[in-house]
Amino acid sequence: MPAKRAYGMDQDFYPWSPIVTRPVLRWPDSARVALAVIVNLEHWDWEVPAGTPLAVSPLGGPEGLWSGNQPDFPDIGGYGNHEYGNRVGIFRILAALDKYGITPTLALDKAVADHYPFLINEGQKRSAEFIAHGLSRRRLIHIGMSEDEERQYIRASIDAVEKATGKRPVGWSGPDFQETTNTPNLLAAEGIRYVCDWGNDEQPYKMTPKTGELYSLGVNAYLDDNYIHLHGRRTINEVNLLWREWFDGLHADGATTGRLMVLHLHPWIMGQPWRIRHLDEVLGHITAHAGVWKATGSEIIDWFKTQSGGDFIEDKNAVLPRDAPIQANLRETTTRILGSLRTNSHPSQMDGEDRKALAPGRFDYAPITERPLIKWPDNARVAFWVAPNMEFFEYLPENRPAQPDIPHYSRMDYGNRVGFWRMLDVLNKHKVRACCCLNLELLDHFPEIKDAMVASDWDYMAHGLYNSRPIYNYTEEQERAYWRDFITHVKEMTGKTVKGRLGGGAGYTVRTDDLMAEAGCLYHTSWIIDDQPWPINVRGDQKFIYVPYTSQTNDAGLLAWNREADYFLQMIKDQFDTLYREGAENGRVMCLSLHPHNIGRPSAAKHLDEALRYILGHDGVWNTTADDIAAYYIANYYDEVSSWIAGRKAHA
């Protein structure tokens, strides 16, 4: 059947309006480009209710609107990454914005608004605008919601921002930019004046809600560090160039009519040590040009509204009533989808929101800018340690006992047969005594590797029995027995005592930290929350800490991102430069995570050699292991920091 042929859009949230037919837009002082920087302050839930949707499409689309494929175990990695942004990364981004005189627009989800008053205060000191950003990063608006559920979701988010900041927000940025067919109307009815989800223009435009007024201040996916860099798999160099050239194009076109550039940043992404210089270069490039108006979201919308009432469309482009058959088809489709979803009922996203708070309560929040000073041995700025992941992936894993994965099995085996020895030569050349993340059974499978590690005096942290046997489903007694066996066998085979752990492919449970401390361990590296060690709360009140590991300077990205080792070398140097500079004031930790099947390639080992030469060529670097970092911190700073935390909480 032929499509219905009609002029304009196929929905009535905004009218069709080609930019070349609009009246000329002039920004204040005849600026060519209005620049807004939105920074997301968001929390990644440790766990979410069963059936919570997961957006799986990098750039949106139908497959991203509904999926019940959240992991059924606690997500340490996602939690830790986002917590790093709130503890560390945000302050690098704010410093860059301060340097160039840019007032941020801060998108707060409810969890951050409720639980991170320090971050609210940092924004208020800068006269930042705060906009609403849903409940949390993992709790999305989705088509499984009823209209009333979505209304309550939006109200809860807006109310939380108002309560935290003292001012009701007028802007909205949906988590993952997700909306339903009800969202624009519900936002406008709750007093939201602009929305950032529709990245389809280079100017603001007026939308057409049923009540109230609503404008689009859209974030183009190419200007979002999450979508273009992480999901889009662009290198940070490509993002740097893309953003500068994007601005150059807008600046040229802005001579005719004003343009809009909205950078959308996540502290856990762009606030990483190795990325921050690229943000600095982009902002420096933009602000070096005349004709740039640096503004918040609401300032841009307020100005735009004064220009011809904010409509900026020709009469022929005025919103047209949607054809009745199209409206009926949309209503029927939506009803059918909602009906099918409700036959598989799931908890409302509001259920348990306050009850969960910021579980798991393993550590207390403290911004890295406010803490007691750490001084490493010999007044070193950076405690540097190397973490080779020594792994064995089974030919027939328990979760796939009949179907071997030959490419993956071979890649891992290459690391043990060949890559390990090339990596070891480089580490020994630079006198790096590693602390390896150990699959226990490797010691028995490959005694030659065990002997080489012992000869190099490596330390060992637990990393599972095999990389194909996670412990997620262990009972407490099973996990307790696991720890007894692991610690005993490593001692028998190497003479060393296991003091720490990396989860990763080995998995974890909600009890892992408690049982590690009970077994005499000192630290867990999986949380990736910080650039300094930090106390972890365990039920036995033992002295137990986080030691910084890394998902950033980690050669696993060579495979996951299809990058070559020269790019990894640049990342390592940039990461070190930032931490070394910051470590002059307060000690930092840098971890270099390696996998023999990656860094042990013939094309890669020379770049590891150069990285170690570069780092260890600096004064003020403590070449050490995670075991020694943990022991030093516990002996010298644990009590001081714990007392400081207690005093800070009492004062709050």
pLDDT (tens digit, 9 = 90+) per residue, 386-445? 999 999 999 998 877 778 999 999 999 999 999 999 999 999 999 999 999 999 999 999
pLDDT reported for residue 69: 43
pLDDT reported for residue 233: 82
Instruction: Examine the pLDDT at 3 and tell me if it is beyond 70.
Output: no
Instruction: Examine the pLDDT at 632 and tell me if it is beyond 90.
Output: yes
In contact, 41 and 119? CB cutoff 8 Å: yes
In contact, 592 and 565? CB cutoff 8 Å: no
Q: Backbone phi, then psi, for 306, in 5-degree steps? A: -70, -20
pLDDT reported for residue 354: 40
- Summarize pLDDT for 215-241 with one digit per residue, the tens: 999 899 999 999 888 777 889 999 999
pLDDT reported for residue 522: 98
Report the alpha-carbon distance of residue 239 to residue 571 in Å, rounded.
14
In contact, 130 and 58? CB cutoff 8 Å: no
pLDDT reported for residue 356: 35
Report the alpha-carbon distance of residue 68 to residue 50 in Å, rounded.
8
Alpha helices in 254-400 (DSSP H): 267-270, 276-287, 297-306, 324-342, 353-356
Mean pLDDT of the chain, nearest integer: 89
Mean pLDDT of 461-476: 92
Q: What percent of the chain has pLDDT over 90?
A: 77
Report the alpha-carbon distance of residue 322 to residue 208 in Å, rounded.
12
Mean pLDDT of 22-27: 95
Strand ranges, E, within 466-537 = 523-524, 534-535
pLDDT reported for residue 338: 37
Report the alpha-carbon distance of residue 498 to residue 626 in Å, rounded.
11
Instruction: Examine the pLDDT at 27 and tell me if it is beyond 70.
Output: yes
Is pLDDT larger for residue 128 or for residue 331? 128
pLDDT reported for residue 232: 77
Report the alpha-carbon distance of residue 116 to residue 265 in Å, rounded.
18
How many beta carbons lie within 10 A of that of residue 87, not counting itself? 28
What's the CA dihedral at 176, 181, 184, 188 to 10 degrees?
A: -130
In contact, 211 and 182? CB cutoff 8 Å: no
pLDDT reported for residue 314: 44
Mean pLDDT of 620-636: 98
Report the alpha-carbon distance of residue 128 to residue 122 in Å, rounded.
9
pLDDT reported for residue 93: 98
Q: Angle, to 10 degrees, between the axis of helix 626-636 and the axis of helix 638-651?
A: 60
Of the listed ranges 118-127, 324-333, 588-597, the least confidently predicted one is 324-333
Is pLDDT larger for residue 64 or for residue 109? 109
Which residue is it, tokens 């990396």?
A: 502
Reported confidence tier of residue 361, pLDDT bands at 50, 70, 90: confident
Q: Backbone phi, then psi, for 623, in 5-degree steps? A: -80, 105
pLDDT reported for residue 562: 79
pLDDT reported for residue 1: 59
Is pLDDT larger for residue 352 or for residue 267? 267
Domains, the chain, with CATH or none:
36-56+72-317 (3.20.20.370), 374-651 (3.20.20.370)
pLDDT reported for residue 159: 98
Alpha helices in 183-294 (DSSP H): 183-189, 236-253, 267-270, 276-287
How many beta carbons lie within 10 A of that of residue 260, not counting itself? 25
Instruction: Examine the pLDDT at 312 and tell me if it is beyond 80.
Output: no
The answer to whether the Cα torsion of 227, 233, 239, 245 is positive or negative is negative
pLDDT reported for residue 437: 97
Kindly calculate the radius of gyration of the chain based on its CA atoms and give it in whole angstroms.
26
Alpha-carbon distances of 342 from 146, 329, 335, rounded to whole Å: 9, 20, 11
Instruction: Examine the pLDDT at 485 and tell me if it is beyond 60.
Output: yes
Reported confidence tier of residue 333, pLDDT bands at 50, 70, 90: very low
Alpha-carbon distances of 286 from 261, 319, 413, 503, rounded to whole Å: 10, 35, 48, 42
pLDDT reported for residue 310: 60
In contact, 471 and 502? CB cutoff 8 Å: no
pLDDT reported for residue 507: 84
Reported confidence tier of residue 73, pLDDT bands at 50, 70, 90: low
Reported confidence tier of residue 511, pLDDT bands at 50, 70, 90: very high
Q: Backbone phi, then psi, for 67, in 5-degree steps? A: -160, 135
Residue 34: closest CA among 300, 227, 216: 300
**The overall pTM is greater than 0.85:** yes
Which residue is it, tokens 């490593």?
A: 490
Report the alpha-carbon distance of residue 321 to residue 458 in Å, rounded.
72
The answer to whether the Cα torsion of 455, 461, 467, 471 is positive or negative is positive
Mean pLDDT of 167-176: 96
In this structure, are strands 435-438 and 382-390 parallel, antiparallel, or unpaired? Answer: parallel
pLDDT reported for residue 324: 46
Which residue is it, tokens 């007392």?
A: 643
3-state secondary structure string across 84-152: HHHHHHHHHHHHHHHHCCCCCEEEECHHHHHHCHHHHHHHHHCCCEEEECCCECCECCCCCCCHHHHHH
- 3-class DSSP state of 322: coil
Mean pLDDT of 47-72: 50
Alpha-carbon distances of 505 from 265, 365, 442, 464, 473, rounded to whole Å: 29, 27, 15, 8, 13
Alpha-carbon distances of 261 from 39, 173, 195, 220, 235, rounded to whole Å: 14, 16, 15, 9, 21
List Cβ neighbours of 405 (8 Å cut-off, separation of 6 or more). Answer: none
Mean pLDDT of 173-180: 93
In contact, 429 and 456? CB cutoff 8 Å: no
Reported confidence tier of residue 192, pLDDT bands at 50, 70, 90: very high
State CA 230 to chain mean position distance: 9
Of the listed ranges 156-170, 299-313, 460-474, the least confidently predicted one is 299-313
Any idea how long the chain is?
A: 652
Looking at residue 552, what DSSP letter applies?
Answer: S
